[in-house]
Amino acid sequence: MPVMTEEDARYNQLIKTFASEPEPAFESESEQEAGWGRRWGCRNDVGRLRAVLMHRPGDELKAVDPARKIEGLGAYGDPESGWYWRGATPPDLPAMQAQHDRLVAVLEENRVKVVMLDACAPGRMKSCYTRDVVIAVDGGAIVCRLGPRVRRGEERPATRTLAGIGMPILRTIHGAGVMEGGGFAWLDENTAAVGISSRVNREAADQIEEVLRRQGVELLRMQVPGFRLHIDGMLVMVDVDTALINPVLLPFEFMEELKARGIRTIELSPEDTPFTINCLAIAPGRVIMSETSGRTLEKLDKAGIDATCIDYEAVWRGGGGVHCSTAPLVRDRLV
């Protein structure tokens, strides 16, 4: 039987005196500021936006070969190498850059810190849609694992960028999990939703739920219809208790769930582009959205939602709008 020496006793007393401190929790304001320099992450989709991850469209779009149009799909692509461009015409890079620059300018005018991806993964021509690679939760980030070959590899520069600014990474989707951030939404401070689709599988949802459960957050799961990809094509929160929705795509059961939770809904006008919904709240009741949204803008105005409109058509022709182009990193809490 081991005999405790005088040195052992001193060591034990030292450890007791300087004991481990599991409380307060990692996500608490005091722990975040002491260990990570500030409070990181988001616990809602509408609180005052403080920092966002973006990438200006660049030379990676040269991967799009105008000679590789697939007539039956009305798009450009190469199944062998994996890239595709869903627009009816090839990307107009100068126009995309000008429109993206305008979005950045509006964000900065509203005192949002824009963090640019430190580099684009070679050939990853959809990298400007940063929403899909990072999900911000309370205290840090979840780095996603993108599904299609054209996007796999965006995770590395995003991880490098987050590390560079000192943002904690709470989880990287791994194993057979597949997740894109456009498939995730906060409904309120204690409830989030994930849309199961061809780009978001149950394995990834389980991993996200593991993180959120420890933070006291309930994760709702919604089956996205058909080959639709993301929640943000059918629902985006625009105020504390208000969602802009596409009732043609959003499952009735989920609309009933919103109603039961006291969330009012504003429906997309059928005359407007579906990318109207792909907007970004920068504060409660304040959004940035595509200007090609006339009738819906009237509805938002009547509901007391203030919208700043920009021309974003050249970017959303590639498959992602204002919401897709922005990955929030820090938002104010609502309570």
Q: What is the pLDDT of residues 65-96, one digit of tens each?
A: 999 999 888 899 998 888 999 888 999 999 99
**pLDDT at residue 283 in the model:** 98
Model confidence over 189-230: pLDDT tens digits?
A: 999 999 999 999 999 999 999 999 999 999 999 999 988 889
**pLDDT at residue 72 in the model:** 87
Instruction: Extract the tokens encoding 229.
Output: 């990809």
Q: Is the pLDDT of residue 127 over 80?
A: yes
Under the banding of pLDDT at 50, 70 and 90, the label for residue 286 is very high
Please tell me the distance from the alpha carbon of residue 199 to that of residue 101, in angstroms, as a whole number: 28
What number is the average pLDDT over the span 291-297? 86
**pLDDT at residue 81 in the model:** 87
- Whole-structure pTM value: 0.95
Instruction: Extract the tokens encoding 276.
Output: 């109207």
In terms of DSSP H, where are the helices of the chain? 6-17, 29-36, 93-109, 155-165, 202-213, 252-260, 294-302, 313-316
Under the banding of pLDDT at 50, 70 and 90, the label for residue 335 is confident
Q: Is the pLDDT of residue 1 over 80?
A: no
**pLDDT at residue 299 in the model:** 95
Please tell me the distance from the alpha carbon of residue 178 to that of residue 11, in angstroms, as a whole number: 47
What number is the average pLDDT over the span 27-50? 97
Q: Is the pLDDT of residue 156 over 90?
A: yes
**pLDDT at residue 294 in the model:** 83
Of 2-6, 92-96, 256-260, the range with the lowest mean pLDDT is 2-6
Please tell me the distance from the alpha carbon of residue 50 to that of residue 136, in angstroms, as a whole number: 12
**pLDDT at residue 2 in the model:** 80
Please tell me the distance from the alpha carbon of residue 65 to that of residue 236, in angstroms, as a whole number: 33
CA angle, 268 as apex, 265 and 273 as ends, to 5°?
Answer: 155
Choices 3.90.1170.50, 3.75.10.10, 3.40.50.720, 3.40.50.800: CATH for 39-331: 3.75.10.10
CA angle, 24 as apex, 18 and 25 as ends, to 5°?
Answer: 115
